[in-house]
Amino acid sequence: MKPREILPGVLAVGAQDFDRRLFDALIPLPDGTSYNSYLVRGRARTALIDTVEPAMLHVLKANLEGVDRIDYLISNHTEQDHSGSIPWVLERFPGVELLASEPAKTMLADHLGLPPERIRTVADGEAVDLGGRTLRFIYTPWVHWPETMSTYLEEDRVLFSCDWFGAHVASTELFVDGTHCVEDEAKRYYAEIMMPFRKIIQKNLEKIRDLEIRMIAPSHGQIYRDPQAILCAYRDWTDDKPHNSVVIPWVSMHGSTALMVERLTAALAARGVAVFPFNMSVADIGQLAMGLVDAATLIVACPTVHVGPHPAALGAVVLANALRPKVRFASIVGTYGWAGKMVETVKGAMPNLKVEFLNPVIAKGMPKAADFEAIDRLAEAVAAKHAEIGLPEGCPLSRSAG
Ligand code: FEO
């Protein structure tokens, strides 16, 4: 994509990566991604905010052809999808001053091998004057690394937020349009990248509460011309109160656990609880993560394999433990043949989750009538716990097991 103007004198010069299908060798990218870089021109000076993934450097190079001078290169975040092309920019524009937060200095040296003397650290609240345009730096730590900051273009009220408010989506459309008030992609991105830092994101949201923001320009995905929807979504996603929903990552080898999940899903739905079952043999882990953003309860369902839980289900537990969702309750349903330590292993794999465990339901072989009755009691207990913490009954979001 050629440079595109988001405002007079402010250009998007980054790259759309339509073909990328995996991030961090883990996260599915069904819609590709983008590495947004912004050129901001003042009357006297020019700044470049963030760069691009090195694999897409040719796009940045082409978009900066004809630019004879960049005074400031601002690194909001040192992860290589944004910082990886900094060495080229330093070489191409030898007079450019590289600006980054204090914690970013050593990280840029560690990740890119940059000499520390090439990096000028800026303080929280410090600004640079481009001539009629002011770029102010706002430390926004842990969105999602310790050094992350946002850059605010004061006169035009644009927040360049890097990963924060971003979405893994490649698009020829520069702006989020009115039909996508809160993009699914933004929720997926929050779930996979930001959720472990929910508490500190609450503080960062508070920090920018009084900032007048006309536009949010993240470094992945499209630009928000009306930022209220994404700000509201972030407040909801980071809020301590979960939704009246249950996430069930499940695996079944011979159909027994599947029968239990089917019964549990129906029993919860009949009690007004939204259910999001994910068959971990085929599930998109991004969708599982999105379900965990809101869920009040996590129920793991799996058969016993070699004494322990099925590895695919255990993988879901490990992921949930890493993402630290705001779930309040947890339980386990599943099966065994002759012996097992599935319950202990699953429980032990989620130390980060501050949950109350509800009685598990473990069937020997094919579930019998008594097991199904126990599942109904588990559903009843979940609904009662949700009611106890004030979650509303009913939710239109429930979907069938997949
Ligand atoms: Fe988009 Fe944390 O890098």
With a 6 Å cutoff on the Cβ, whether 20 touches ligand 1 is no
Which of 82-96, 166-180, 239-253, 321-335 has the weakest average pLDDT? Answer: 166-180
Which H or E run includes 207? helix 198-207
Closest by CA position to 133, among listed 53, 210, 208, 49: 49
Q: How many angstroms is it from 256 CA to the middle of ligand 1?
A: 41
pLDDT for position 373: 98
Q: How many angstroms is it from 276 CA to the middle of ligand 1?
A: 28
Question: pLDDT by residue (tens digit) across 323-371?
Answer: 999 999 999 999 999 988 999 999 999 999 999 999 999 999 999 999 9
Question: pLDDT by residue (tens digit) across 256-302?
Answer: 999 999 999 999 999 999 999 999 999 999 999 999 999 999 999 99
User: Is there a contact between 395 and 243 (Cβ–Cβ < 8 Å)?
Assistant: yes
- Mean pLDDT calculated for residue range 216-244: 95
Q: How many angstroms is it from 225 CA to the middle of ligand 1?
A: 22
Average pLDDT, the chain: 94
Which of 200-204, 217-221, 395-399 has the weakest average pLDDT? Answer: 395-399
pLDDT for position 379: 98
Statement: the pTM of the whole predicted model exceeds 0.85: yes
Q: Is the pLDDT of residue 377 over 50?
A: yes
- In sequence order, which residues have a C-beta less than 8 Å from that of residue 91 and are 6 or more positions away? none
Which H or E run includes 243? none
With a 6 Å cutoff on the Cβ, whether 79 touches ligand 1 is yes
Could you give the percent of the chain with pLDDT greater than 70?
A: 96
* 399 against 101, higher pLDDT: 101
User: Is there a contact between 61 and 163 (Cβ–Cβ < 8 Å)?
Assistant: no
Which H or E run includes 119? strand 119-122
Q: Is the pLDDT of residue 392 over 90?
A: no
- Mean pLDDT calculated for residue range 217-225: 96
Q: How many angstroms is it from 376 CA to the middle of ligand 1?
A: 43
Q: How many angstroms is it from 160 CA to the middle of ligand 1?
A: 13
Which of 66-75, 80-89, 192-201, 335-344 has the weakest average pLDDT? Answer: 335-344
User: Is there a contact between 253 and 303 (Cβ–Cβ < 8 Å)?
Assistant: yes
Q: Is the pLDDT of residue 400 over 60?
A: no
With a 6 Å cutoff on the Cβ, whether 41 touches ligand 1 is no
pLDDT for position 273: 97
Query: Got the DSSP string for 276-317?
Result: EEEETTT--HHHHHHHHHH-SEEEEEEEEETTEE-HHHHHHH
- Mean pLDDT calculated for residue range 157-163: 98
Atom of ligand 1 nearest to the CA of 148: 2
pLDDT for position 183: 73
Rounded to whole angstroms, how far apart are CA atoms 220 and 81? Answer: 10
pLDDT for position 399: 37
pLDDT for position 181: 55
Query: Got the DSSP string for 16-77?
Result: EETT--EETTTEE-TT-EEE--EEEE-SS-EEEE----GGGHHHHHHHTTT-----EEEES-
User: Is there a contact between 105 and 118 (Cβ–Cβ < 8 Å)?
Assistant: no
Q: Is the pLDDT of residue 402 over 60?
A: no
